[in-house]
C-alpha cells in the first residue's frame, strides 16, 4: 500500500459495524446496552496518519483523542478473532514504552491491516535509523589527547583529585 493510500485512511471499514453487530448479538440480553455503545464508537472513530505520527479520535459524550509519533512506537501487534477474520478485519495494537501492558492505540476496521502494519514498521525504523545515524551532541565536550605523554599526566591529576575528595569525605564522616 502506498504512502498516499495510508494517509487517505480516515474511517474504519463498514465491516467493523457488522462485526460489532454480531458481537452484540452474541452477548444475548446485553445487546441493547452493548450495540448502541459500539454503534456510537464506530460512527465517531477517526484515524489520521501523517508524516509525524498517528492520531486516533473517538467518542460522542466523552471524546478521546490520542496522538502518537512514530518514534515512540515500541511494538505492533495484529489481533484477529474468529468474527473479525470472517469479515476480513483485524486489530492493530500499537504499544509504547509507557509502562502499561495495554496498547496505547488500537486501530480497528482496516481491511489492509498487514500493509498498514508494515507501513508503521517502516516509519518506526526510519525514525530509529535517523536517531542512530546522527549522534546526540555531548553535554561535556571531550578534549582529545595529542600525545601519549599527556595521558599519564591526566591520570595522575584525576587520581590526586579523587584522593582529595576521599579525604574530604572522611573528614566529614568523622565530624558527623
Output the domain CATH number for residue 8. 2.30.29
The residue with greater pLDDT, 171 or 39, is 39
Same domain, 109 and 164: no
25 and 85 part of one domain: yes
* Torsion angle of the four alpha carbons 69, 72, 77, 79, in this order, in degrees rounded to the nearest 10: -50
**Structure-model confidence comparison of residues 108 and 148, the more confident one:** 108
Same domain as 126, residue 72? yes
* Residues 81-103: tens digit of each pLDDT: 999 999 999 999 999 887 777 88
| Residue 12: domain span | 3-133
Cα 67 to chain centroid distance, Å, stands at 10
Whether residue 153 is contained in a domain is answered as yes
Please give the C-alpha separations between residue 52 and each of 37, 115, 127, in angstroms, as whole numbers: 31, 18, 10
Q: Are residues 88 and 161 in the same domain?
A: no
Confirm whether 141 is domain-assigned.
no
Instruction: Answer yes or no: do 14 and 41 share one domain.
Output: yes
pLDDT in tens, 102-140: 888 999 999 999 999 999 998 888 765 655 555 555 444
The pLDDT value recorded for residue 1 is: 64
50 part of a folded domain: yes
Number of domains into which the chain is organized: 2
Residues 24 and 79 in one domain: yes
Amino acid at each position: 500500500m502506498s504512502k498516499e493510500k495510508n494517509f487517505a485512511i480516515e474511517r474504519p471499514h463498514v465491516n467493523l459495524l457488522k462485526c460489532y453487530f454480531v458481537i452484540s448479538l452474541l452477548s444475548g440480553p446485553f445487546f441493547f446496552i452493548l450495540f448502541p455503545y459500539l454503534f456510537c464508537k464506530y460512527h465517531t472513530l477517526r484515524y489520521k496518519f501523517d508524516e509525524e505520527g498517528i492520531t486516533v479520535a473517538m467518542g460522542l459524550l466523552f471524546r478521546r483523542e490520542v496522538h502518537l509519533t512514530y518514534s515512540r512506537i515500541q511494538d505492533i501487534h495484529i489481533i484477529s478473532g474468529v468474527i473479525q477474520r470472517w469479515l476480513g478485519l483485524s486489530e492493530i495494537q500499537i504499544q509504547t514504552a509507557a509502562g502499561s501492558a495495554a496498547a496505547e492505540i488500537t486501530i480497528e476496521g482496516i481491511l489492509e491491516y498487514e500493509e498498514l502494519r508494515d507501513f508503521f514498521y517502516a516509519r518506526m525504523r526510519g525514525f530509529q535509523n535517523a536517531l542512530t545515524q546522527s549522534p546526540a551532541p555531548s553535554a561535556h565536550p571531550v578534549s582529545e589527547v595529542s600525545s601519549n605523554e599527556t595521558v599519564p599526566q591526566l591520570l595522575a591529576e584525576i587520581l590526586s583529585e579523587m584522593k582529595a575528595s576521599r579525604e574530604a569525605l572522611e573528614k566529614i564522616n568523622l565530624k558527623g
